[in-house]
Structure formats: C-alpha cells, structure tokens
Structure 1
Amino acid sequence: MTEPLVTILDDEPEIRQLLADTLQEAGFRTMSFGRATEFEAALKSCQPDLCLVDLSLPDRDGLTLVHRLALEQGATVIIISGRAQVQDRITGLELGADDYIIKPFDPSEVVARIRARLRKGKATKSSGDTAQFEGWTAHFDRFTLEDIEGTETPFSHAEGAVLRLFLESPKRLVTRAYMQETLGGAAGESFDRAMDVRISRLRTKLQEDPKNPRLIKTIYGAGYIFLGDVSWR
C-alpha cells in the first residue's frame, strides 16, 4: 500500500523542512514548494492526498489558490498560517479549506489533523462514488453535480463532505454538533459560519429557493434535514 502523499506549500524553508521531516517520520510521502507557480506545475503530474497551504505566498494570493484547489481539483486542503484572526479562519473555511492551523504550531498536532482528515476521507467512500436523488446525480469521484439534462456543476471537497453527510442520512435530523463531530474542525463561530456558507452554496447549485428550500431544510435551533429519496451506486 502506497503511503499518502502530502504536499507542503510555504515560503519559509525552515517550516517546509520541519513539516517534511515530521511527516516522513510519521510515514507520509511529501513534496515541498516555496512558490505557488512551482506547486501548480507539479500538480499536472501528481495527485496529492492532502495539501498544506500557507496563505502568505510571494507569488500568489493564498486564499485564491485554496479556493481553486478545493473547487477545481476537489483537493483536501489544510491551511497553515500566521493569520490568527477569526475572520481569516472563517474566510479560509468558506473558500473550501477543510481545516485551519495557526502558526506557531506543534508538529505532532499537524500530523494528527492530517491523519484525522484522511480517515474521514476514507470513511466517506463507504456508500459509493455516485448518489442519485430528485433528478440530480452527485459524482463524488469527480466532485460534480449533474442535473437531469446532463449539465454538470463542480463542488468543492468541503462542500462535497457536507452533501455526502446529508445524502447518507436522508429524512433524518443532522445536528450541528453531529456535523462538527463528523466533519472535523474546532466548534465555534468559524465552523458555524463555514457550514452556513457551504450549505448556501449547495442550495444554489441544487437550484433551491433560498427562502423555501425543497431539499435541504433548516430546523431552527436543531440542525438540518435532507428530504429527498437517495440511491447509491
């Protein structure tokens, strides 16, 4: 079995070396980059299991890169940044990051969060790669929603995790606490805001009426219920 590949994008050589050494000791393969252009070029010939991305890059806006990775490539992304403000964490999660680690960090915590995120990724494959519901088909192998006419709309890895959670629990209450426990990340304002944004984007992609959604219903003070019939294959 091939060890998971983790890419490290950070403009500080000491941070790259620290992360690479720690992850290799923990059994991961790594590739390290100091510039976004080098990282994006490497992605044409490799597919990492997880990307560690710093936001303060010399040649590219880190948040824009995170959003593109999550939406266009369905990549699992963990931000590692010195930006500690709540709004920075909220923005990063809103744009599709799966987790946010603040510098300075404990290397063992980074390893633990990577392992937890990869375990969650494996667990989400238990039902299959494709779900059909109410005229829609969700392709989790390529991160797209297909409508009845065959038009496909991409969704991010983080949006896909929320969608799969709903599709695996149709017509059952999904509480905020369960979402936090299942999807990971620290509870609080940043997690709640990120979930609100991801659900709003999913509703838009499913062509839902925001004032009266038909599929993803909000149960105020409790959580959400997905009302469609779902079949997996």
Structure 2
Amino acid sequence: MTHRKLIYIIDDERDICDILSRELGAYGFEVKTFLTGAQLKEALREQSPDLCIVDLGLPDMDGIELVKSLCDQTAMGVMILSGRDSVTDRILGLELGADDYIVKPFIPRELIARVNSLFRRLRKNNHDIEVAASAVAQFAGWRYDPSTLTLSPLGETPADAAETNELSSAEHELLMLLLHSPKKILSRDQLLGERVSPFDRSIDVRMSRVRKKLENSPKQPTLIKTVYGVGYILTADVVWI
C-alpha cells in the first residue's frame, strides 16, 4: 500500500483548517488540523507528520518560535501560511529553516502545487541520502555525511569550529548541489530547482545559514563565494569516500 503523506495544519481560523483539510484530502493527503500550538505539540508526541503548515498568528504562542522548534526536527517539512506579508517576516521564516512561505489570502490550487513541489524536493533529498549512504564528502577541512545530515570538522581544522552541526533538509539540499559541482558557478535558478513561485531572497537566506556553519567569517566568505549577478561557487576540491 502506498504511504499517504501526513500533513498537520496549525491555524486558529477553523474555516482555513476546513478548506485546507478538504483540498489536501482530495489530492490523497492525510490531514490533521489544530487550532493552537499546544494541541500540535501534544500530537507530535504521538506521531510526526511529513509536513507542517503553520500560521504565525496563533492564540497561545509565538508562531515564529513554533516554526523554529519544528525546523529543528530535520526530517519534517515546514511551510508557513500567514497573513503577515512583510519582507522581514518572510526572511525570518526562511532563516529559521521553513521550506516555503505563503501569504493569505491564498489560492488553494497554488498551495497544493507548492505542497507537491516540496514533497518532490524532500523525496529527492531522501533518495540522495540513500544513494550516498556509504559516501562521505571531505572538503576544506570539513566532513559531511549525507546519511545523517551531519557536518563536522576534520581533525583540528578549522580550530574554532570544533562541534558537529546537523543540517536541515533545505540546508542539505543546497550543500549537496554545491558538493556535486565544486569550482563551478551555480545560478540561483539551478539552486532553486523546481520551486513554485519562489521568494527571490530564499536562496540567499539559505546560503547565509550554510555559510554560518562552514565559514570562519560568514560575512567575508572564502569557501562559498558569491558571483554577483550570476550565483554561487564552492571554491574547494571535494573528495567522496
């Protein structure tokens, strides 16, 4: 039997929950809805979904804090659905690790398209992890293990980054593209892939998060350089072992 993707919807507007539950259900998804963050957290103790769609304006907690805690659970997709349309909120949501940001009011069919696109990306990431389960990348004093999404320094280099980091699914996706094309310029379009109606700062924000984990000075990067007007380039050689 084919696994039905499980989606949690967290929104204090019952009408929104009903619309999303009906639309997503019609496309074969299993859907559970919650009106508060507390209800969601209780449900997470029993079962983790494949995707959480989160409203930022929750009655019992800060939606941004909830998004942050969900993004720390790297196997889960996170999509923000909010009436907040400011650039600051969009960038902050992406910086915290959300995979997409949709503004209310929304077109249900567009949301379905974005959900399907997100799952295709996550499925590709999982496939990459399975294929590369025995392959580990070594580059510029770093070791990246795609099977566990862990990034760690090799030996004492760099000396000031001696702890292991676990990447989110979005960070993994970006780093893998760079690791498979070292010393080649990748455009934003190549890095965005099949994202639907992408927010044009999303790649820059995700790149900033990856740089913070790799670079000694993220504001003056030497490992992942910006080629202005074109894209990004990983400057190091990569060895797969």
TM-score tier, shorter chain, comes to 0.7 to 0.9
Range with greater deviation from structure 2 (158-167 or 112-121):
158-167
**Percent identity at matched positions?**
40
Distance 1:169 1:71 in 2: 27
| Equivalent residue for 2:197, pick from 170, 176, 186 | 186
Which stretch shows the higher mean deviation, 51-60 or 144-153? Answer: 144-153
Unaligned runs of 5+ in 2: 156-161
For 1:98-113, what aligned pairs fall within 5 Å after superposition?
98-113=99-114
Structure 1's consecutive aligned runs of 4 or more residues displaced over 6 angstroms after TM superposition are none
The equivalent of 2:158 in structure 1 is none
Alignment of 1:50-199 (within 5 A): 50-124=51-125, 125-126=127-128, 127-129=131-133, 131-134=136-139, 135-148=141-154, 151-180=163-192, 182=193, 184-187=195-198, 190-192=199-201, 194-199=202-207
Letter in 2 for 1:184: R
Unaligned runs of 5+ in 1: none
User: 1:221 aligned to 2:229?
Assistant: yes
Of 203, 211, 231 in structure 2, the residue corresponding to residue 203 of structure 1 is 211
The Cα shift of 1:96 comes to 1.3
Shift of 1:26: 0.4
Alignment-mate amino acid for residue 223 of structure 2: L
Using the TM superposition, give the Cα deviation of residue 113 of structure 1 relative to its aligned residue in structure 2, in angstroms: 0.7
Q: TM-score of the superposition, structure 1-length normalised? A: 0.86
Q: Residues 87 and 204 (structure 1 numbering): CA distance in 2 closer, same or farther, change over 3 Å?
A: closer
Q: Secondary structure at the match of 1:169?
A: coil
Give the aligned residue type for 2:231: G
**C-alpha deviation, 1:38, in angstroms:** 1.7
Report the secondary structure of 1:44's partner residue.
Answer: helix
Give the corresponding residue for 2:6.
5
Q: Distance in 2 between matches of 1:220 and 1:38?
A: 45
Change (3 A) 1:210 1:176: same
Tell me which of the two structures has the higher relative contact order, counting C-alpha pairs closer than 8 angstroms and 6 or more residues apart: 1
Report deviation, 1:16.
Answer: 1.0
Report the CA distance between 1:232 and its aligned residue: 5.0
Q: Are the aligned partners of 2:91 and 2:205 in contact in 1 as well (CA < 8 Å)?
A: no
CA contact (8 A) 1:10 1:33 kept: yes
Q: CA shift at 1:141, angstroms? A: 4.7
TM normalised by structure 2 equals 0.84
Query: Hey, what's the Cα distance between the residues in 2 that align with 1:58 and 1:220?
Result: 42
Hey, what's the Cα distance between the residues in 2 that align with 1:211 and 1:106? 38
Cα offset, 1:230, TM superposition? 3.2
Aligned length: 229
